[in-house]
Amino acid sequence: MIEIIPAIDLIDGKCVRLAQGDFARKKVYHENPLEAAKMFENEGLRRLHIVDLDGAKRGKVTNLKVLETIAANTNLTIDFGGGIKTDEDVKAVFDAGAKMASIGSVAVKEPEKFFAWLEKYGSEKILLGADVKGKNLAINGWQTETKVEILPFLKEYFAKGVTHAFVTDISKDGLLQGSANELYAEILREIPALKLIASGGVSKIEDIHELEKIGCAGVIVGKAIYEGRIRIDELGMMN
Q: What's the pTM?
A: 0.92
Q: What pLDDT, in 10s, does the model give residues 82-104?
A: 999 999 999 999 999 999 999 99
Does residue 174 have a pLDDT over 60?
no
**Inter-residue contact 20 to 175 (CB < 8 Å):** yes
- Alpha-carbon dihedral 213, 219, 173, 28, rounded to 10 degrees: 150
Domain boundaries, the chain: 3-238
**Residue 20: predicted pLDDT:** 66
Q: Helix or strand or coil: residue 121?
A: helix
Lowest-pLDDT choice from 113-117, 170-174, 179-183: 170-174
Q: What is the pLDDT of residues 64-81, one digit of tens each?
A: 999 999 999 999 999 999
The mean pLDDT of 22-47, rounded to a whole number, is 90
Fold of 3-238: TIM Barrel (3.20.20)
**160 touches 117 (CB < 8 A):** no
Beta strand extents in 119-194 (DSSP E only): 126-133, 136-139, 144-149, 164-169
pLDDT band for position 212 (50/70/90)?
Answer: very high
Strand partners for 57: none
The bridge status of strand 218-221 relative to strand 3-11 is parallel
How many residues comprise the chain?
239
Q: Residues with catalytic annotation?
A: 9, 131
15/189: higher pLDDT:
189
